[in-house]
C-alpha cells in the first residue's frame, strides 16, 4: 500500500460492514474493518478502510450501494490512517 488507508464508509453494524466489504471485494477492491474507536470491530458501528489509491474506485461502489439502498448510512472520512502492513 502506498501512503495509508482511508475510511470509505462507516457501517452501522457488522452485518452492514460485511455487505460493504463483500461488494468491494466483488469489484476487486480489498478492504479491512476497524471499530469506530480505532480498535477491532465489534457489534457496533465500524469503519470500512481501503488503500488510499483505491478511494476513487471504492466511491463508485459506495454510490451503487447507496442507490440500491443496501447500506443505511455511509459517511466518509478523508483522514489517512497509517498502513499496518
How confident is the model over 3-29, as pLDDT tens digits?
588 888 888 888 888 888 998 999 999
pLDDT score recorded for residue 12: 84
Cα 1 to the chain's mean position, in Å? 16
CATH 3.30.70 for domain 4-82, yes or no, is yes
C-alpha closest to that of 30 among 55, 10, 63, 11: 55
Residue pLDDT, tens place only, 49-74: 999 999 899 888 888 877 777 665 54
C-alpha closest to that of 17 among 39, 34, 37, 40: 34
Task: Report the DSSP beta bridge partners of residue 7.
Answer: 49
Spatial distance between the Cα atoms of 79 and 64, rounded to a whole number of angstroms: 23
Higher-scoring residue by pLDDT: 44, 58: 58
pTM for the whole thing? 0.72
pLDDT score recorded for residue 30: 94
Amino acid at each position: 500500500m502506498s501512503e495509508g488507508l482511508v475510511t470509505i464508509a462507516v457501517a452501522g453494524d457488522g452485518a452492514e460492514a460485511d455487505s460493504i466489504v463483500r461488494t468491494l471485494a466483488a469489484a476487486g477492491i480489498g478492504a479491512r474493518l476497524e471499530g469506530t474507536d480505532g480498535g477491532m470491530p465489534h457489534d457496533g458501528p465500524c469503519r470500512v478502510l481501503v488503500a488510499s489509491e483505491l478511494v476513487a474506485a471504492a466511491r463508485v461502489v459506495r454510490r451503487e450501494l447507496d442507490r440500491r439502498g443496501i447500506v443505511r448510512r455511509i459517511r466518509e472520512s478523508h483522514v489517512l490512517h497509517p498502513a499496518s502492513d
